[in-house]
Structure 1
Amino acid sequence: EAAKNSIGLTEGTQMAQHEIATLLRQYRLLETEIETVNNQLAEMAQTTIEYEILASVPGLGDATIVDLLSEVGCFALYENPRQLIKLAGLTLRESSSGQHKGQKHISKRGRKKLRNTLFKVIVPLIRHNEAFKQLHEYYTTRQQNPLRGKQSMVILCGKLLKVLHGICKKKVFFNEQHMMKDLYCLVEAA
């Protein structure tokens, strides 16, 4: 009984309810507009030949392909896959000064959204794509210089960009067996 009389606003509640209802309507309107734009982007991306090629990679969904194409554009326009790695900010950088030799870490000078998209897609690829799963196991369990989980994922993001560039440049569909055959580190470990 004492709390009812002492806590809370007693004046202006009607306007507060009206303001909340207005904000909710605006939020729902923005949600529908974003969904419309995403659908239009998906339709535009599906008209490109690169969409079909990227869709052949197990683990890449429609939303991921749209995000990749919107950040990178046409993969085949890049001369070298290293340009894509630099665009994503996945190049290694070392903090050194004089005699001090620091640790290497990614530069993060590229596109943040592209980097985020790559990290989001690499986790399902490690789970569902046998070639990337074996590469991750190799990098984390090798005898010399084993990598930690995140370090391996950064390397695999770069590898994914190289693979996507290669299949888009050559206009061929992804072949997991062909990729595994070309990975000399996995052939030596077997």
Structure 2
Amino acid sequence: WAVELAAKNEKKQIVLGLEPTGHYWFCLATWMIANGISVVQVNPYAVKQTKEVEDNSQLKDDTKDPKLIANLVKDGNFGMPYLPEKVYAELRRLSMFREQLNEDRIRAINRMHREMKIYFPEYKEALGRVEGAFSLELLKQTPFPEEIQTLGEEGIRQIWHDAKLRGRGYSRVREIVGYAKTSVGMKDGAEASAMAVKWFVKEIRELDEKLAEIEKLMREKYQEIPYAKNILEISGIGENTLSGILAEMGDISRFDDVKEIQKLSGLGLVACSSGKHKGETKISHRGRKRLRYWLFQAAKSAVAHAEEFKELHVYYTTRADNPLKKMQSLIVIACKLLRIIYGILKNGTVYDPKKMLRDIRRPEKKEVIAA
């Protein structure tokens, strides 16, 4: 019907305006583009903000929305959709699966903690690192004090020995049994709760295996991107962080300038000023939040492990003119890392920490001459 309507009105181009919600638009947009129809996106926030301009009413429904979207498209208030292709599509999907599995793992751990706090409140002091291999192996078989006392020190050692665990975990056996003997945890309902804890431990281990498999695939995929390995020369940026950044950023050849990626990540600076009022400058938080997350993680890691970024962080937070707060400094460093990554991928350059420090513009120190 769209083609017929365009033909009747002697129009040669059809533009489909979408308000993208969830995953419902992917197949439609791909099919439209394959058939020569232009597809553009309208920000749902823009639709929401303009709903009262249309008819001075707060009403927003499926009858009113198409007209709002059409008017925004007509006025040029739209963006072009980006659907990753080839290796970037694979990385994006793997990154999404990794995020979902991490959420499931955190949920399982929190549920396990809840049961342990009720029936073995001293478990953190007894076990140390609860998500460690020694702790999970014990919790998989005997999570609560009565069972631990029945096993005794030799029984716990035997469990770890059968699992072929090696390390310093054996030294905690006496402490674990001691805490189990003096535990003030509840007794009623312990049998059902112990079964639940064993389920959660099994789920955590299965999720760990799946995460390891996905991260291995992501490492293999990012290596297909030209010059991506050069980014690992930056101390603090590991393979998991790099694959996360590349998955969310996509093909950089579609960007003319690194500021476009900065805006995409929500790290662009915005301020609300009027007349004499000067509003506080902050980042927009608009765009791909996962890209912003991975860039921030990269900045934190680089400051912790790379001497040049540590020096830069100290300079930003202690300079005489306009010193930054620590969080602000990390945001600035995240933007700097983004420019470095963009330069490496665009030009195939090799990372040079000395050149990076030389490129930072610093105000010249004024000499004070006594009269």
So what's the TM-score if we normalise by structure 2?
A: 0.44
Pairwise CA distance, 1:129: 2.7
Show CA shifts across 1:32-78 (max 9, x none): 22221111111111232232121122221111111111111234442
2:228 matched to which residue of 1? Answer: 51
1:134 aligns with 2:298: no
Change (3 A) 1:79 1:24: same
Partner letter of residue 170 of structure 1?
Answer: N
Of the two structures, which has the highest relative contact order with CA contacts closer than 8 Å and spacing of 6 or more? 1
* Separation in structure 2 between the aligned mates of residue 183 and residue 177 of structure 1, nearest angstrom: 10
Change (3 A) 1:38 1:127: closer
Pairwise CA distance, 1:19: 4.7
Indicate conservation of the 8 Å contact 1:87/1:110, yes or no.
Answer: yes
Show CA shifts across 1:92-133 (max 9, x none): 222446764321211111222222222222123223334323
Show CA shifts across 1:127-176 (max 9, x none): 33343233223222222212111111111111111111112111111011
Pairwise CA distance, 1:25: 3.0
Equivalent residue for 1:115, pick from 292, 296, 320? 292
Change (3 A) 1:9 1:166: same
2:278 alignment partner, SS class: strand
1:156 aligns with 2:333: yes
Change (3 A) 1:147 1:9: same
Change (3 A) 1:133 1:18: closer
1:169 aligns with 2:324: no
More divergent stretch after superposition (20-29 vs 47-56): 20-29
Partner letter of residue 31 of structure 1?
Answer: D
1:4 matched to which residue of 2? Answer: none
* Separation in structure 1 between the aligned mates of residue 321 and residue 245 of structure 2, nearest angstrom: 33
1:67 matched to which residue of 2? Answer: 244
CA RMSD of aligned residues (A): 2.5
Equivalent residue for 1:145, pick from 322, 338, 349? 322
1:74-93 equivalences in 2 (<5 Å): 74-93=251-270
Consecutive unaligned residues in structure 1, runs of 5 or more: 1-6
* Separation in structure 1 between the aligned mates of residue 358 and residue 231 of structure 2, nearest angstrom: 20
Consecutive unaligned residues in structure 2, runs of 5 or more: 1-185, 366-371
Change (3 A) 1:181 1:99: closer
* Separation in structure 2 between the aligned mates of residue 76 and residue 129 of structure 1, nearest angstrom: 28
* Separation in structure 2 between the aligned mates of residue 128 and residue 31 of structure 1, nearest angstrom: 26
So what's the TM-score if we normalise by structure 1?
A: 0.80
1:183 alignment partner, SS class: coil
How many residue pairs align between the two structures?
Answer: 180
* Separation in structure 2 between the aligned mates of residue 133 and residue 29 of structure 1, nearest angstrom: 38
* Separation in structure 2 between the aligned mates of residue 77 and residue 184 of structure 1, nearest angstrom: 28
Change (3 A) 1:62 1:14: same
Q: Which has the higher helix share?
A: 1
More divergent stretch after superposition (35-44 vs 71-80): 71-80
* Separation in structure 2 between the aligned mates of residue 98 and residue 184 of structure 1, nearest angstrom: 30
Partner letter of residue 176 of structure 1?
Answer: P
Identity of aligned residues (%): 31
1:41 aligns with 2:218: yes
Indicate conservation of the 8 Å contact 2:272/2:280, yes or no.
Answer: yes
More divergent stretch after superposition (162-171 vs 113-122): 113-122
Q: Kindly name which structure, 1 or 2, has the bigger radius of gyration based on alpha carbons.
A: 2
